[in-house]
Structure 1
Amino acid sequence: MFQLFKKRNFSELVGDTFTFFKMNGKHYFRNYFIINGGFLLVLLVLVYFIMNVFFEGLFANLNGGLGGTNNTIDHYMNNNLELFITLSIMTVVVAVFLSILSYAYPVAYMKLLEKNSTFSTNDIIKVIKSKIGKIVIFFIASLFVLVPIMMIAMVLSFALVFILIGIPLLFIIIPALMCWFSLSFYDYISTDKGYFEALGNGFSLLKQKFWPSVGSTAIMYLIMQIVVGFVSMIPYLIGVFSMFTTLEGQNSPNIQSEQFSFLMLMMGITMILSLLLNFIFQNFILVNQGIIYYSLREENENNTPKSEIDLIGTYSE
């Protein structure tokens, strides 16, 4: 059984994140896809249809340009404006719902793991349902409290980039804000505290071991971006390479149209793959934040002896 309550340094915060998935990854992701998979599939389908409408407009414009007709894409988009707006609204609604659900899932999972070594999908759903009110309140309240603070901090950091000091600040402020948000969310959902109390406690936890917490967050975010960026860019690079190698020395309008069509297809696959991988690998960051949260709680509450007593019955079975 993975030990949540444990005092950890920087290397252990990163290493135990991968240890968690080594021990619980199969169970974690199986339940993740059972709970979130349907909504994720709907989101990917909606994104596909939006891109299909947009790319068809580009193809119409390409063919119109080759035939001497101007403003073809404007005509196409005007004719399909209602469809495009409807799909966009549906996509935003599903994306927001899925993002909130994906954020709540690891909190519910770790809350159950805190007390039990075995639990089912229904147990996770029950925890999420029991906390749905607090989850919605947290994200709505954060739109008016946390998000403006984060935006001001980001704007100031980007402004300082012009005098160079902002560049290192960005590498500190971005993961620090992410960590503050996550620690506050974990504390708000895992306890009976109010929103502002959880926000204050999350900030206190962040300050408690600032550099290990921010450093591990930055490392996990960097790993995620490298993996997602590398994998998702493969279809796009295939499309670009295929287009330039085929078009070399050939000026036929039909060949150009076919190659641009293939490039757009690869771009669509790239976007869908990037979206899918972002939701999947986001779990590594969120679990890392949970490990930070329980480690900092251990520093303050000394829960290890209690956990070891609880595990005696598990080992004897």
Structure 2
Amino acid sequence: MADNYIPLRVNRDFGDIITTYFDFFKQNIKKFTNVFLSYNGIFLVSLLIASYLLVSGFIGLIAYESAPNNFATGAQLEEKYMIYLAAGGILFFVIFIMVLVLNYALASSYMIKYESTENNEFDKKEVWAYTKSQFGNILVFILLMIPIWFVFFIVSIIFAFIPIVGLFVQYILQFFLTSWLGVSFYDMLQNKKGVTDGLGEGWNLVTKNFWKSVGVNFILGLLIGILMMITLIIPGVLIGVYTFHVVENNVDYSTSVVSTVIYTLGTCLFLIIAVYGQCLSQFVNGILYYSLHEKTYNINTRIKIEQIGKSE
């Protein structure tokens, strides 16, 4: 075992889980980023194309609507921008689902390989091979997440009509759902179970440790969100300054190549950071999963006791 390996199968309390997450993050951020970029290349290019279509559609429609003689230009130009917008939206939705499936699995497989090898010296191809070996279950699981989140959305709307209390209930349900699905996904991949078995075990682990699961996802979700916002400060400021320049100097952004490039890159960067943030969030549930699993089954503790018995 490597000296700097962080044991994951440990029954940790709330504070220790948060501390362990950041220790794991610091140790593995470079290696996982390499995995992320290696297997997301084609999707990142696709997101760039989708961003271009969305930006071109939005800019074109805004310019068309604000033009004093827009009726004279005919409906053909408006239809062109609507096609851009629709094509960009459809492409983005398809790519988003594919990226969600891939990176939800890559982050989980990475942590599973880390735990099984007790180091981070494994090749990135091993992470992909582990993901590919269970791709069927992964796809079914992600598809099941869609109706589950849809039901949550309906329930959230209902609770939205309840002042104050409804808001708290919404957040509790949201972080419970995040914990349940994340922990279930890890159990399914780690033990190569079926989707329903994984969901059942995840439900068992999370409901028995309800407030710890909700609290960990709330605190670390908040901190990851702040980290992502900080990451977006520089490009956000640059885009804001450029937008101010456009407005103050009456730049014709509808025909400006620079405007299209800047807004396209800004949109694409935002989407990439959002996807990467999802990976970091899944690491949270990985550490939570191993902690809850060890608390329930004491696997690592039993192994250590057996080793002590053999050495004696």
Using structure 1 for the length normalisation, give the TM-score: 0.81
Conserved? CA contact 1:236–1:267, under 8 Å: no
Conserved? CA contact 2:48–2:268, under 8 Å: yes
* Identity value in percent: 24
How far off its partner does 1:214 sit? Answer: 0.9
Counterpart pick for 1:157 among 150, 156, 159: 159
Deviation per residue, 1:72-108 (Å, 9 max, x gap): 6954231354454334332221211011101001111
Query: Which consecutive unaligned segments of at least 5 residues does structure 2 have?
Result: 308-312
Separation of aligned partners in 2, 1:231 and 1:6 = 32
How far off its partner does 1:12 sit? Answer: 1.3
- What letter corresponds to residue 189 of structure 1 in structure 2? L
Conserved? CA contact 1:233–1:270, under 8 Å: no
Q: Cα RMSD over matched residues?
A: 3.1
Deviation per residue, 1:136-173 (Å, 9 max, x gap): 111223334x234423432233222xx22112223322
Alignment match, 1:40: 44
Deviation per residue, 1:278-310 (Å, 9 max, x gap): 122222211010000011111122122467699
Separation of aligned partners in 1, 2:13 and 2:72 = 60
Alignment match, 1:3: 7
Please say if 1:256 is aligned against 2:257.
no
CA 1:203–1:72 in 2, change beyond 3 Å: closer, same or farther?
Answer: farther
CA 1:148–1:195 in 2, change beyond 3 Å: closer, same or farther?
Answer: same
- Which structure 2 residues correspond to residues 1-317 of structure 1 after superposition, within 5 A? 1-62=5-66, 64-65=67-68, 68-70=69-71, 75-116=76-117, 117=119, 118-144=121-147, 146-160=148-162, 163-232=163-232, 235-237=235-237, 239-240=239-240, 255-258=249-252, 268-305=264-301
CA 1:195–1:242 in 2, change beyond 3 Å: closer, same or farther?
Answer: closer
How many residue pairs get aligned? The number is 300
CA 1:89–1:69 in 2, change beyond 3 Å: closer, same or farther?
Answer: closer
Report the 3-state secondary structure (helix = DSSP H, G, I; strand = E; otherwise coil) of the residue aligned with 2:283: helix
Separation of aligned partners in 2, 1:305 and 1:165 = 41
Conserved? CA contact 1:13–1:216, under 8 Å: yes
Separation of aligned partners in 2, 1:55 and 1:247 = 13
CA 1:72–1:298 in 2, change beyond 3 Å: closer, same or farther?
Answer: farther
Conserved? CA contact 1:184–1:199, under 8 Å: yes
How far off its partner does 1:274 sit? Answer: 2.0
How far off its partner does 1:203 sit? Answer: 1.5
